[in-house]
A and B are shown apart, each in its own frame.
Chain A
Amino acid sequence: MQMSSAAIELAGVTKTFGSLTAVDRLDLTIPRGALYGFIGPNGAGKTTAIRMIMSILLPDSGELRVLGNRSALEAKDRIGYLPEERGLYRKMKVAAYLTFIARLKGVPERGLRERVHSAIERIGLKGVEAKRCEELSKGMSQKIQILAAIIHEPDLLILDEPFSGLDPVSTRLLKDLILAEHRRGATVLFSTHVMPQAEELCDHVVMIHRGRKMLDDPVSTILRPHDSRALSFEPLDAHVDVGAVRALPEVERCVAVEGRYEVALRDGVNAAAAMRSVLAVVPAARIELKRPTLEDVFVAIVAGAPAAGDKAVAA
């Protein structure tokens, strides 16, 4: 395998548990400084792949490099990791816990105390330093766990389902933290089920299903092949009769969805021409091409069906 200076490189990595192949010949290259989303349904093999990247599990076969090293063990101090199943030492005080993790990650003693206190302040939890971890609310605990993953300013940040269980405020905070780490220069890889978040945050998405890689492209590229032949149309008069639209020869179907209409076009129809035809029969407050979301693509791949955008309104 030709190894470059990528942050993560996997070549033909396979991991089996008994008769189950959790990860099957996975090839993956994540360049330094990238922000990658790792998506896939439950049991797809995301966590196993991440654990192999972290050298918590060893692959049965294949090659793997992390930050230029043959094993993450050689670069653990440069990696931040938030596992899917995470916890804290219940009896330990918050500042002591973060200090302990920072020391394990090789943060020098000089300035460590200030670093811990400013990090706590940064996530809006000033004053909890002397509290025992068991005294924290669930949301506060999650923030501390995230902080523990970035306290040492890693070059590579790996987050396994970081948004699970977070309320909207904490989700926003975590997004900001991820973006801040990315801006700082860290390579970020996070797995998620929440497609809008992946779509919003990532510039590149890798999807695995049943241990195999199904997608590995920039978000824009993923969505391009699924250019829509559907329109999203919001009439100027909410109570207007859209029978004229349904009667247009270009239109296959017109369905009301949450105060607007999704218009499916027939095969071979030019979308721009169809848009003009619709505007000619019903004045519109807004009309646009309906593009598929990452979620549509995700569902389509998992279901083994064509990308949802092709038949967005047919569903």
Chain B
Amino acid sequence: MNKVWQIAGREFVATVFTKGFLIGLLIVPAVGLLLALVMPRLFAGRTLTVEGEIAVVDPTGVVMPHVRSVISARRSPLAVTEIVERARAGGADEMVLTALGATTQLTLIERPPTADLEQEKAWLVEPMPAARHLALIVVHANAVEPSPGTSNLGSYDVYVPSKQDNRVEVSVQGVMREAIISARVDARDLNREELSIVMTVPRVRSTTVGADGERDTVFGLNIIIPVAFMGLLIMGVMFAGQGMLTTTVEEKSNRVIEVLLSAVSPMQLMGGKLVGHMGISLLAMSLYLCFGLVALASFSLFGLLDVKLILYLLIFYLIAFFTIGSLMMAVGSAVNDMREAQQLMMPLMLTMILPWMLWWPIVQNPSSPLAVVISFVPPVNSFGMLLRVASSNPPPAWQVWLSIGAGVAGAFAALWVAAKVFRVGVLMFGKPPNLKTLVTWLRTA
């Protein structure tokens, strides 16, 4: 056992006390911070200016003045702000808010009520117009007053040219909505301002009541926490697995492996590497976890974290580490250089990519058949189950323990395979093994 610790200690020291480790440690939060700062701006895009002509055919004869009025008012920044606020209070999504908040420079082309629709449509596709033709609006005859014998009100039809930003249409429809509502209000002799006040109910922030007290509800935390824990898990496994892969390849390529094997058995060498790199990744994960906890505490959100999650993180980390990490080390032992390793690494990398592809549906619906199946199938079960236990709708305890049991079985199987491949692979040089060769190794080692 002492030799295992000697190997582990060397791996730990040789990795941790290097600039590369510090850079690697800092680069993950740095990239995360950068993405958090940059991505919203990248997604927000530049402010849209809706500029061009809209043609309106109004058989009612009462909507057109209101369209004119709304277009004129929309040129005022104050009016735009008010529209956006009202839409936000009504629960409009971000795209609608962006479109409504867009700078509008619309020019109204008033068409006669009897205009020919096909001819008007041709206006939309005129080549190289002086001003962009954004939309053709045909107001329904019953848009303001219901047709005789009915109580339903109509609206309008919109025709747009191809390849146009959807936000333009949203903005144009916002104009028409405002104009038709105003026309209907006037037709009924109602007070628009009063109606607005009556119709507006601002959205309120809820208060989360817990055993340890009350606090403002933090929306998104039930998504952030599972993803953060899964990210930590993947990072920890990748950190260790990649380290074991590269050091094994390095020891093979610089031929120090046989010197080591004269002092320790292949299993002691493998055991030492596993312990050493487990220590390295646990150190990295602990540091990140501490940063996260300090951040939560600084925002007085520490109480929102179920401390049991840290225990689950450790359990699922150990399962994923021994499953995926040991197989990565086996890959390192079977190849001659990193280029050859890439080919054998593909299936293992998929087990890391899969959780990233599936985290959203799992977090959205932790009890879905997909989430349940994923949480029982090694080697991805650790990631799936951790997402579920950290979600707002955790699974029953028996599922958690069943997943742990499946994971432990998978880890033992992976260690068995890795040990067999490692024992033979570390002394094999030359052509990298194919699947048939690996099977032979498993049978003979």
B and A form one assembly: yes
Cβ-defined contact, B258 with A104, below 8 A: no
Given contacts A100-B6, A104-B6, contact A87 B264 (CB under 8 A): no
Residue of A nearest to B424 (CB): A57
Contact A56 B427 (CB under 8 A): yes
A207 interface hit (Cβ, 8 Å): no
Which of A75-83, A178-186, A238-246 lies at the interface with chain B? A75-83
Partner of A76, one of B254, B255, B256, B262: B262
Q: Which of A88-96, A167-175, A214-222, A280-288 contacts B (4 or more CB under 8 A)?
A: A88-96
A70 to chain B, nearest CB (A): 14
Q: Given that A100-B6, A104-B6 are contacting pairs, would A88 and B262 also be in contact in the complex, using a CB cutoff of 8 Å?
A: no
B122 at the interface (CB under 8 A from A): no
CB of A85 within 8 A of chain B? yes
Which residues of chain B have C-beta atoms less than 8 A from A312's C-beta?
Answer: none
B263 contacts the other chain (Cβ, under 8 Å)?
yes
Is B439 on the interface with A (CB-CB < 8 A)?
no
Do residues B265 and A101 form an inter-chain contact, with CB atoms below 8 A? no
The CA of A79 and the CA of B265, in the complex, are separated in Å by 13
A103 interface residue (CB < 8 Å to B):
yes
> Chain A residue with minimal CB distance to B253?
A87
User: Contacts of B255 on A, CB cut-off 8 Å?
Assistant: 83, 85-87
Shortest C-beta distance, B426 to chain A (Å), equals: 9
Cα of A208 to Cα of B10 in the assembled complex, Å: 39
Q: A83-B259, A145-B259 are in contact. Are A88 and B254 (CB under 8 A)?
A: yes
**Closest residue to A101 on the B side, CB-wise?**
B263
- Knowing A76-B263, A100-B6, A103-B6, say if A89 contacts B14 (CB, 8 Å): yes
Measured in the bound complex, the distance between the Cα atoms of B2 and A104 in whole Å is 8
Q: Select which of A73, A88, A145 is within 8 A of B265 by beta carbon.
A: A73
- Known A-B contacts A56-B427, A103-B6; the reply to A85 vs B258 at CB < 8 A is yes
Nearest residue (CB) in A for B440 is A18
Q: Tell me, in angstroms, the Cα distance from A86 to B10 when the chains sit together.
A: 19
Q: A51-B427, A73-B265, A105-B263 are in contact. Are A88 and B256 (CB under 8 A)?
A: yes
B111-139 at interface with A (beta carbon < 8 Å): none
Contacts of B260 in A (CB 8 A): 104
- CA A99 – CA B256 in complex, angstroms? 15
B238-260: CB near A (< 8 Å → 1, else 0) gives 00000000000001001110111
Interface flag for A54 (CB, 8 Å): yes
The answer to whether B354 has its CB under 8 Å from any CB of chain A is: no
Across-interface contacts of B33 in A (CB, < 8 A): none
Q: In the complex, which residue of chain A has the Cβ closest to the Cβ of B247?
A: A89
Residues from 170 to 210 in A contacting B, C-beta threshold 8 Å: none
Interface residues of A in 84-127 (CB under 8 A from B): 85-92, 100-101, 103-105
Contact, CB under 8 Å: B262 / A79: yes
- Bound together, the chains give a CA A85 to CA B255 distance in angstroms of 6
Q: What are the residues of chain A within 8 A of B7 when measuring CB–CB?
A: 104
In the complex, chain A residues whose CB is within 8 Å of the CB of B263 = 76-77, 101, 104-105
- B contacts, CB < 8 Å to A: 3, 6-7, 10, 14, 251, 254-256, 258-265, 427, 429
The 9 closest A-B pairs by CB, nearest first: A81-B262, A87-B255, A104-B263, A87-B254, A83-B258, A87-B256, A85-B255, A56-B261, A103-B6
Can you report 19 residue pairs joining A to B where beta carbons are below 8 Å apart?
A54-B262, A56-B258, A56-B427, A57-B427, A76-B264, A79-B262, A83-B255, A83-B259, A83-B262, A85-B258, A86-B256, A86-B259, A87-B255, A89-B251, A89-B254, A90-B254, A91-B14, A104-B260, A104-B263
* Apart from A77-B263, A101-B259, A104-B263, 10 more pairs, CB < 8 Å: A56-B258, A56-B261, A76-B262, A79-B262, A81-B259, A86-B259, A87-B256, A88-B254, A89-B254, A90-B254
